[in-house]
Structure 1
Amino acid sequence: MWDYIIIGAGSAGSAVAGRLSESGRHRVLLLEAGPSDRNVWIRMPIGYGRTFYDSRVNWMYQTEPVPGFNNRISYWPRGKVLGGSSSINAMVYSRGQEQDFAEWEALGNEGWGWNDVLATYRKLEDHDLGAGPHHGAGGPLHVTTIDKEAHPLSRIFIKAAEEVGVPYSPDLNGATIEGAGLYQITTRKGFRESSASAYLRKRPNLDIVTGAQATKIIFEGKRAVGVTYRQGDMLREARATREIILSSGSIGSPQLLQLSGIGPAAVLKAQGIDVLLDNAAVGRNLQDHLCYDFTYRTSAPSLNTVLYPWHGKLRVGLQYILTRKGPLSLSLNQAGGYYRSKPGLAAPDIQLYFSPLTYEKAPPKTRPLMNPDPFPGFYTSISPCKPKSSGHLEIRSSDAREAPAIYPNYLSAPEDLAVMVEAARFLRRLGEAPSLAAVIETELKPGPQVASDEAFADDIRNRSYSVFHPVGTCRMGPDPRSSVVDPQLRVHGVSGLRVIDAAIFPTITSGNTNAPSIMVGEKGAALILRDTN
């Protein structure tokens, strides 16, 4: 018997487990559907080129056809391994901005405003920039600056951004996220720093069980008391005296709630599941960020030049083995930033990415190691921070092994497409800025023939893609009619059960969502311990 059972050892779940177990006073069980993270492709930062299509550590979800994408299906990699998506992502550390959390608080979520959230970030960080008003030092999660390692093209991108009106920022997690600069990443001494490597320690009071997929939360009346899970061919059961914490992510958490009888009654009944609590909000409010790329062939060397030939791979491999430095120690998203698409906006609303490498994205079934193109090139990309479109997901079976049906509803709000068209025009101007124009040989995609608003809109529908930030499907809010958890992350209408992961986001944050997900885990654990004490 345990005090707490945590379902999911991902970005948030590992943080919860680490914090609940560190005092030694509480017995904690952490269940993870995937395997251990002792995997060279996980530990080596650039290895996410392999895990991107590896079903052993990746749920490899696919959405239903998306009308706004001309009925294309969207591929969603999500971590199925200790560390969850923090073990297979691009490692960009971006916390969101003050206005994001002011919005959360204004929606009735007391304690989730910027000052509260910033204090949590500072508590969890061990930042290269050291302790200060905007960063923490000595926390479990190491955040690395890449000033000395970034590819030279990244500096050219930053200079070009300045030339089109986006100021240089030496710290994209500083007083403001606005500006162009080098991204900070979650690594430590040349290795990936996942939430698992940051928070999980061998402790006599922490039991970690891998290969254990939860199938149902056990209730006595309306109190959560345990969980059934499948391990190999065996169905097992575990019970907790205090709480069950659901940290299975924005797909897994609403899926398990629905499998356990909490969700839209019609959806549950259609799959033969008894309704414990009719809550239409479970699985709704699904939000995600879209990305749209420009691809260039260059006259200057890029990472393609280094990573495409076998001798280049050998050289950087040896460099990494001997020094833990070089391209293999970094993310491919090396530079970027945030800007305001229109004068007078209260906050930046578009995120920029720059990658000094290009590659063709292969279909998921082939499970390749994504290989660079045989010519020098780079990507520039835009991603609107606050899309208006939202979707939903729902179970299609009472079997936990069958993925839910995911309806992201991209570009269903007309203003989302308009924002992306304007942002695409910005990328065209960025490529024409003197610093980038001097090294660009050819614009490969979308190509100069794409020039009108209509042509850009068509290309966006055909080529934009998820940047893998699904959130919001167990929305936090004070009203049980429109949300799933309260501001203490307790599931409305039942007891002994919380959701602590990105599913609780009331609205999507600006930028990459991994740092906010870890923050939710850190803050959620503090809420539990406060109630316990």
Structure 2
Amino acid sequence: MRFLGLACADIATTAAQLSVGQLCVALWSLQLFFGEALAQPAFGQPVTYDYVVIGGGTAGLAIASRLAQVASVAVIEAGGFYEQDNGNLSTIPGYATAIPFLDTTPSYPRNSLMDWDYVSVPQTEAGGRQIHYAQGKTLGGSSAINTLAFHRATYGAYQKWADLVGDQSYTFWNILPFFKKSAFSYPPNFPKRNTPNATFTYDLTAFNDFLRGPVQVSWAQWVDPTITWLAKGIRSLGLPQSVLGLNSGFLTGTGAYVTTSVDPCDATRSSSRTSYMEKIGVPAGLQVYHHTRATKILFSSKRAKGVQVTTNDKSYTLTAKREVILSAGVFGSPHLLLVSGIGPAATLNKYNIPVISNLAGVGQNLWDQLYFQIINVVSTPSGGQEIALDPAKANKQYYKQQWGPLSSVSAYISFEKIPSTLRSTFSRATKVALEWFPADWPEVEYVAGAAAGPNGSTLGVLSASLTAPLSRGSVTIKSADPATPPVIDLGWFTNPADGEVAVAGLKRARQAFNSISSIKVGPEVAPGDAVKTDAQILAFVKNAATQIWHAGATCSMGKNGDKRAVVDSRAKVFGVEGLRVVDASAFPFMVPGHPQSTVYMLAEKIADAIIKRR
């Protein structure tokens, strides 16, 4: 990051004992960037704003920043500053996959300053496992803990969105201005990349034009050598490298180095906080209530009038003259709706919660993409290996040159629909179910990665993800107390079709890895050479698959009268006034691939509609 004209490297030279995050917080304490906007408000005092935004995450800070340019806005955020609470793990890209609490097991190492500590019920079709599902509790939300992939979905996916919600303003060309408004992309720095087989063509017109969005998007300036080999393996499947990249509405049948939300000028994470509250600058109309939890949305008759909050165990009310905007995430948004009286009447009555709006879809229709891996020890070097063997060198490269393995999460990804050779084994039910998806909507995503292995070795990792999942989960409550965590059932593999596609996807990933057998060392680590038959592969996948943190659609957008719909195409909650849901929970479905850019798009689109009173 730059501070008053200084680069990170310059600061690090004079304050070597401080992390990048600690330096940020030290400067914030002097209010050099945020002025009074993040000065501690008068916690505990009732205040009135034009808009109250619940959640200072990916969508929440984006929409709040835009609205605060024309109105007074309060943001309620339960967490604090990730630069302080998670340090360089959330600031330096190379550490993005090393954040300890991203562990998916119930015994994960807790960091309750950063994570909501959600744990699912046992997944009956996935080995009976309970899954810890990390969600960012910090200014920046999950944009502060994700693995930075940034790309768009397909023309067909957004057309499906438009058709389902009855609003053609959601087609790709109509939402492209909002994609562009949210992010700015830099061309790849090929001299810095300087790695064989890592050059490519791209379409920079998918970004920018006359706009310079706040989220900084770039291609990695350092490329892991192992990933270049795995990319070669993926291309052996017959999936050509894209000539446009992954931001122009095309995914299926292409392979590309993915753009990431990293500022290439200083090689730091570009989150919703650093982008919408630093690159833009905090508008005078914005007030952030950090370390403050929203406990209930308050109504006067059928109109949302404010939010009950707690800070340091003191409860008070923030009143909204115009609207309350809920951006608490895929689990938090339906949870808060339910305890506030919006959801299935039977559930609300069970816990003696007065029914404000009987909406059966609240907490339903949970989509979640899963991934599973082929792992081999390989003879090629990797960034993880370099960091482990010579951390001083890696630090010097990063701080002096904004380069090296710490500067990037360099990934090569590719998408496809399962080819006919494997598709022919699918049941008729699976084939029919998959017909719901548009022709350009991929069923599987392949991601090439690398990690440090034992004794200084390198692990090559090739994962396959289900991007067209057919299983559905749910979020509900077990108490009227907002402090009681929601009940989360991810629904993994409850639709047998997902198992059939997963088996085919793992076979394709293994085929890709075997095509570069010259770099393999020893037997396959996972799932292992003994796992051969479809039944064995399915058993492995069900017991090993995990989330890629792309859950969504639990407050689904749709047409009035659709039993699953919670909000309309302007994100307004059905049955009440003055309340919207703006985050991934409001998607009608989870878009294929990585949803970060679509979350920003939605926030920009709804902010524009509010400001223009459309």
The TM tier, using the shorter chain, reads: over 0.9
The alpha carbon displacement at 1:133 in A equals 4.0
Deviations, residues 375-416 of structure 1 (Å, cap 9, x unaligned): 211210001211111111101222222210001111111111
Q: Is the 8 A contact 1:304 1:374 kept in 2?
A: no
Match of 2:261 among 183, 186, 192: 186
Report 1:134-533 matches (<5 A): 134-136=206-208, 138-146=212-220, 148-170=221-243, 171-178=245-252, 179-188=254-263, 189=265, 190-200=267-277, 201-309=281-389, 312-331=390-409, 334-343=411-420, 346-347=439-440, 348-357=442-451, 374-433=456-515, 436-442=516-522, 443-480=524-561, 481-531=563-613
Q: CA 1:424–1:503 in structure 2 vs 1: closer, same or farther (change >3 Å)? A: same
Q: Is the 8 A contact 1:95 1:513 kept in 2?
A: yes
Report 1:72-87 matches (<5 A): 72-87=129-144
- What is the alpha-carbon distance in structure 1 between the residues aligned to residue 75 and residue 286 of structure 2? 7
Q: CA 1:233–1:373 in structure 2 vs 1: closer, same or farther (change >3 Å)? A: farther
Deviations, residues 142-189 of structure 1 (Å, cap 9, x unaligned): 11112x411122221222222221111252223522312211100113
Match of 2:171 among 85, 106, 113: 113
The alpha carbon displacement at 1:270 in A equals 2.3
Q: Is the 8 A contact 2:353 2:480 kept in 1?
A: yes
- Residue 33 of structure 1 corresponds to 78
- What is the alpha-carbon distance in structure 1 between the residues aligned to residue 552 and residue 599 of structure 2? 9
Bigger mean CA deviation after superposition, 378-387 or 474-483: 474-483
Q: Which amino acid aligns with 2:415?
A: Y
Q: Is the 8 A contact 1:304 1:377 kept in 2?
A: no
- Residue 34 of structure 2 corresponds to none
- What is the alpha-carbon distance in structure 2 between the residues aligned to residue 55 and residue 322 of structure 1? 33
- What is the alpha-carbon distance in structure 2 between the residues aligned to residue 62 and residue 259 of structure 1? 19
- Residue 120 of structure 2 corresponds to 63
- Residue 362 of structure 1 corresponds to none
Over the matched positions of the two proteins, sequence identity in percent amounts to: 29
The alpha carbon displacement at 1:373 in A equals 7.3
- What is the alpha-carbon distance in structure 2 between the residues aligned to residue 305 and residue 42 of structure 1? 20
- What is the alpha-carbon distance in structure 2 between the residues aligned to residue 385 and residue 161 of structure 1? 17
Aligned with 1:531: secondary structure? Answer: coil
Query: RMSD value over aligned CA atoms?
Result: 1.8
- What is the alpha-carbon distance in structure 2 between the residues aligned to residue 71 and residue 215 of structure 1? 32
Q: Is the 8 A contact 1:172 1:337 kept in 2?
A: no
Return 5+ residue gaps in structure 2 as ranges: 1-47, 103-108, 188-201, 424-437
Match of 1:21 among 68, 72, 81: 68
Deviations, residues 427-455 of structure 1 (Å, cap 9, x unaligned): 1100111xx21111131000111111000
- What is the alpha-carbon distance in structure 2 between the residues aligned to residue 323 and residue 467 of structure 1? 31
- What is the alpha-carbon distance in structure 1 between the residues aligned to residue 396 and residue 417 of structure 2? 42
- What is the alpha-carbon distance in structure 2 between the residues aligned to residue 446 and residue 21 of structure 1? 51
Q: Which amino acid aligns with 2:73?
A: V
The alpha carbon displacement at 1:287 in A equals 0.5
Q: CA 1:484–1:406 in structure 2 vs 1: closer, same or farther (change >3 Å)? A: same
Q: Which amino acid aligns with 1:316?
A: A
Q: Which amino acid aligns with 2:496?
A: P
Return 5+ residue gaps in structure 1 as ranges: 360-371
Q: Which amino acid aligns with 1:80?
A: K
Aligned with 1:74: secondary structure? Answer: coil
Deviations, residues 51-106 of structure 1 (Å, cap 9, x unaligned): 53522111131110001102111221110000100000100002111111111112
Deviations, residues 471-494 of structure 1 (Å, cap 9, x unaligned): 000000112433100001100000
- Residue 50 of structure 2 corresponds to 3
- What is the alpha-carbon distance in structure 2 between the residues aligned to residue 511 and residue 63 of structure 1? 23
The alpha carbon displacement at 1:34 in A equals 0.6
- What is the alpha-carbon distance in structure 2 between the residues aligned to residue 235 and residue 324 of structure 1? 45
Aligned with 1:26: secondary structure? Answer: coil
